[in-house]
Structure 1
């Protein structure tokens, strides 16, 4: 456990250092592209920054979940994955609060101490606000990035760390107040801008949600020991593994340990001196599902291994289809815009058309009024002339 925690802390430090490098590379590549509009620039930068952060934050977790277990333990490294997630999530939350809150506060404090004057002159409020830290053109971008990375930790590896959503909730409740204090007291007031939607973040969130289904199914299947246990528990009637003859886990541990004859060590791997724990033993046990020595297929994967692999693949396929089907059904049943809001939008649209029609009608009437007055006056003059002609 001490080794796992130390490795997780070192990995977190490396991640934080690489974040600085990846951020500069992403901005440099986006500037080199010369996007046509600001929206194109933000979407391009968002995609690149997320891909860099995705590889930086999640690569170690994917390695522990799906690759390292094949080397260190066939049963998986679930505890080590949980430790890695805990250290990275907790360290990231603490580091972000230091970087986003403590650093601007210290800068403002130093600026006030350096610019303090001895007079009793009262500085206007707008000038005091201008002396605060600038928010920067990517201020809100980093808030979105932080939430999306946290969303990835909560969804991609929740099967190995079920406490992650609770920690994320506590962190977000705390960060709401911290961000409010930061924006209102430590930074200049932001200039509001209109936006049609959240841009490239929406498809990124959808992609992470889809990937999370496959990721959690594979973590349960390959990293945990659930599927081998279920196969052993339910296979007594068809392929009786071990000595059990009913639904029981008796003999499971012994069934997961394969036998190896120490005489079969190769010259490169044979120890120079026989370790003391062997004593007079000629065999040893290791965690795997292989045929024992003396079998005509010795040290090859046993039938139990292939049954477990088939069960794992079936589990992944079934879980993915069930979750995706549920997602699409809920997405279809629950509308993006509620019925009452949709009717209100139609009413506002109708009222806008009525107001626009009345405005256009008034405009046309106002423009045609001089013409109508001229025609009316001309008709009156013509009638008077006709009356005069009749009198004479």
Structure 2
């Protein structure tokens, strides 16, 4: 009898808990529904709040009413199409040039406050266009005037620097600035030695540049142990380096070949193919390509015309885009990778050889070192081109 009563009491408690759970779920659902309704229809809540305040004097909180934003298809507006003249621009640079024009136009549109403008590019059949949609802007003439009747994209290259010796006054000014820079770098080094919190940049040093070689030489010269600071500021072409040696890691240098399948819109692609055609070409070519005939197939299929046989030579970490590098590292020697997608298109990678190399893992703080551009009036590191 007592066992039966115990089971009955237990069942009753479970039923009570179940009812409480259902009630709580119902209350939560009701609150969520009300909150959603208030968010979606704030004007109803605000009018109700005004009514309550008028009747009782109690001021209920109000909800901000944001107006609905209608697109070009609902409220009308202006649709502009600009066609770019690419006659003076090399084919391999045209996609980037068009993107630059798009960015300029987008900044101009954003500057005069159009709600949710659309600025996009399209390339078809050798024609390069920028399409601009301005919802709510009904005066086409005003829109053209705001954007500019003919957007002009100027191309500049990094200049060759000052083509003369600095004057005595300019040299004195540069020496003073560089002294300040070196004092600042020394101060940062002292902060690092005290253990202050700094904005460290992590890099792997493979001695592939003058800066990396200088850092590697300093670590070896001072016999720096992992976790310790290089005890002096390292001056390189990049600037003044405060360096902490983290440790040594093993990576690999790889002898690679590749076959590229690109399509219109991909960086540097010039074949004019749509993506679906390039993908079909990749699928068909994959059936033919082997390790033995890879160079021959590269000459037949690859869109990378700078390497007719696909040979990339010895590649170190950092020499290629990260996605390509990761795929190459994961591919066993003597095999061909699966198709790898990068900003250039699909790649098939043949990993021919590999050899281990050691890299220093370091963290650094880089303090810029002033140069002639900082002391010579009207001297810019950028030069206009004829494009």
TM-score, normalised by the number of residues in structure 2: 0.19
**Structure with the bigger percentage of helix:** 1
**Structure with the bigger percentage of strand:** 2
**Which one scores higher on RCO, CA 8 angstroms, separation ≥ 6?**
2
